[in-house]
A and B are shown apart, each in its own frame.
Chain A
Amino acid sequence: MKLSEIPLNKNAKIIKVECSDDLKQRFYSFGIIKGATVCVETVSLAKNTMEINVEDTSIGIRVEEAKTIEVEMI
């Protein structure tokens, strides 16, 4: 299941991050990495961007970027 598909305010565990190195590095430095717990807080009106929470930090990402993150619900 992709991060872009999970319901709001439900915790999920990241199992895989599959994207360009640039983006991957950025994800990693925010704690978006295999094993981390993530939840989606808000999605913008046009569904272009979404706000997620990882390790107590709110992070804005594009929905297309969220599609590269594989998660499972916990």
Chain B
Amino acid sequence: MGECNLENNSLKPMKIVLAGQPNVGKSSLINAMTNAQLKVGNFSGVTVEKTEICFEHHCHAVEMIDLPGTYSVNGFSQEEKVARDYLLNEDYDVIINVIDSTHLTRNLLLTLELLNLNKKMVLALNMYDEAQKDGIIIDIKQIEAITGIPTVAVSANTKEGVDKLLDTVHEKYDLEKRLKTNITYSDTIENGIFNIKEFLDSKNYEYKDLNSREMAIKLIIEDKEFFKAIHDEPIFMELQPLVINEVNDIYSYFETKDLVEIQSQEHHSIARGIRAETVKRADKKKPKQLTKKIDDILINKFVGIPIFLFLMWGLFQLTFEIGAIPMDYIDAGIGWFGDAVGASISHEGLRSLIVDGIINGVGAVLMFLPNIIILYIGIALLETTGYMSRVAFLLDGFFHKFGLHGKSFIPLVTGFGCTVPAYMATRTLKNEKDRLITLYILGFMSCGARLPIYVLFAGAFFSASSAGNVIFAIYILGALMGLVMAKVLRVTAFKGEDEPFVMEMPKYRMPTMKLLWFIVSKEAWMYLKKAGTFILAATILIWFASNYPKVDDPSPKAQLEQSYLGIMGKSTQFLFDPIGLDWRQTVALETGLAAKEVVVATLGILYNVGEDLDETSGALLDAIKQQIPFASAVSFIVFVMIYLPCFAASMVFVKEAGGYNHLVYLFILTTVVAWVMSFLAYNITLAIT
């Protein structure tokens, strides 16, 4: 297999949707159900992804869609919207509602909302083994009897019940009609439902596959879609006063006209009722003891933040220190591969395109793969163990002052290493505006690739002893500007209601290796696929712009000066005159849009000291010291600090922010800020020196 091969199967694939609250082990369950992942890919969701997996069950092709975890179908967050839109508008066969057996009441709230969708559904009581360990005994038959939904106890960890779950789903899929639920509401509401139902029955009104009781419920909870449908029917004339009458009775009973509140109260009492009737505690011991003990340390008032900072430092070190080891090998491997390929191509232009353009460009993406993998193992650990919520809890106070969410911290720290994974790490932010603000300011966290430029300039103008401090100051200054920018964006472009913090502090859990592999391999593959294709296109473009038109003078300097890139630099130099930069620095900044690593190389070529340069090279250092005035150098550094990180990052930004328009805004924002700050820095430096 390996592919989702549906052609040789005459049956329509069975489409299963997994819905459930966050932290109920949906990913693990999918992993357990599908055994080997046959096809994992993301689709359609612009900012928040759904995952689609295909496999076979009893020779029937199955498509499984994993919706983002959601607490409520009526919620406002981006993820909840994605889930709701899918559940309401897409075509699918069966919902598997995954439930955490150890938190039955809260999970049943979502179940009750899902039931109002009137679709075929199966309840999966996940983490059943954990519940048993906690001494919780659940009467599955009784849950089935009360809800009317087939219910299976499963454990993604031990794989217990997983086969039975699939069999049950398959069985329900084969049934012609979906099962009706047996949920009973409180007397006042039941009364209203009964009266409206009687009326609908007397008129023999039909709508889709709903029975009259389901229609009555939809009328009482003001279901928009159903109202739209029935509004144009003659029956509506008589129906309207009846519904108004019944709803008014309900309002006066509940002492509120807030339907969401009424529905929530009803669902709560039903959920509590189900729990009371189906759950027995074998012993009275508090099940959360261990989590509580760990929390006493990890979110302790005094040591909580230091512990977190230490862990982040560790992750940061691991990402960029250990990641550097395979990086060198990959780099050498790509170099060797490029040489080997280059040797076999005789046509010079073609060889340059393939070796300098494609292999180098795509190689640059491959090189970051170890970093990405380590980083994602770290982030996956943070998330799956339940520590992430604690971190957000600790940091929210500080970040909230700058208009950010507690969870913004992870991408911001990552941004000091490489902006590409940092953009991807913003996915841990659920709220759209928090996410966008974080995406917009991430570039202010100077990435690793800018370091060579700082080292070069600090080395040229400062003594060796103070150069380190200068570089550190550059990093801190960038981060501070980022925070200020976040605040500015929050009060201007991304105004509006703050994302509520309200966040579950889940039980601490140790993820299985398999789950970690599942998450990390998915992210790594996506990184390769997306960034790889964009980078490929970009490198070809830049390669072309810096190599054509061909000139007679074979020196790299002349070639670059007269290439399209050089022409562009010279023609746009007037833009950079006020901030003290000449055409060479202009070109360096412009090639830097492709990647910051290119800046030093470009400066090297333009200041005519040869091509194979790095930041420690003495010749370039001297040339810069002699040929660039101090004020221009300051201006140049400030510009580098602020403007767009690189092409690869920009493309990832487009994907994460959800459109090219955002890149245009980001480009304008960063360039304008960079220009203004450079202008200030240039003139201030001129004035004081």
Binding site for B on A (CB under 8 A): 20-36, 41-42, 44-49, 51, 55-62, 65
B302's nearest neighbour on chain A, judged by CB, is: A45
- Does the CB pair B72–A29 fall under 8 Å? yes
Complexed CA–CA distance, A42 and B76 (Å): 27
Taking CB atoms, residues of chain A closer than 8 Å to B106 are: 29-31, 55, 57
Taking CB atoms, residues of chain A closer than 8 Å to B400 are: 48, 62
The 5 A-B pairs with the shortest beta carbon distances in the complex, nearest first, are A48-B397, A29-B71, A58-B505, A28-B264, A29-B72
A28-B72, A29-B75, A44-B394 known; A60-B268 Cβ under 8 A: no
A32's nearest neighbour on chain B, judged by CB, is: B502
- Does the CB pair A44–B397 fall under 8 Å? yes
B505's nearest neighbour on chain A, judged by CB, is: A58
Identify 14 residue pairs between A and B in the complex whose beta-carbon atoms are under 8 Å apart, listed by A's number.
Answer: A23-B500, A23-B502, A25-B72, A25-B76, A26-B71, A28-B264, A29-B106, A29-B109, A30-B106, A34-B265, A42-B299, A48-B397, A59-B505, A60-B393
Distance of B258 from chain A, by nearest CB (Å): 8
- Does the CB pair A62–B501 fall under 8 Å? yes
Taking CB atoms, residues of chain B closer than 8 Å to A25 are: 72, 74-76, 260
Which of A48, A55, A59 touches B396 (beta carbons < 8 Å)? A48
A20-B497, A55-B106 known; A26-B299 Cβ under 8 A: no
Binding site for A on B (CB under 8 A): 21, 71-72, 74-76, 102-103, 105-106, 109-110, 260-261, 264-265, 268, 287-288, 291-292, 295, 299, 301-302, 305, 389-390, 392-394, 396-398, 400, 406, 497, 500-505
Complexed CA–CA distance, A31 and B21 (Å): 13
A22's nearest neighbour on chain B, judged by CB, is: B76
Distance of B393 from chain A, by nearest CB (Å): 4
Taking CB atoms, residues of chain A closer than 8 Å to B110 are: 29
- Does the CB pair B265–A33 fall under 8 Å? yes
- Does the CB pair A60–B503 fall under 8 Å? yes
Taking CB atoms, residues of chain A closer than 8 Å to B75 are: 25-26, 29
B73's nearest neighbour on chain A, judged by CB, is: A29
Distance of B248 from chain A, by nearest CB (Å): 20
B291's nearest neighbour on chain A, judged by CB, is: A58
Which of A24, A30, A42 touches B504 (beta carbons < 8 Å)? A30
Taking CB atoms, residues of chain A closer than 8 Å to B105 are: 31, 55-56
Which of B302, B396, B500 touches A26 (beta carbons < 8 Å)? B500
Which of A36, A57, A60 touches B501 (beta carbons < 8 Å)? A60
A47's nearest neighbour on chain B, judged by CB, is: B397
Taking CB atoms, residues of chain B closer than 8 Å to A29 are: 21, 71-72, 75, 106, 109-110, 264
- Does the CB pair B502–A49 fall under 8 Å? no
Distance of A44 from chain B, by nearest CB (Å): 6
Taking CB atoms, residues of chain A closer than 8 Å to B392 are: 60
- Does the CB pair A59–B260 fall under 8 Å? no
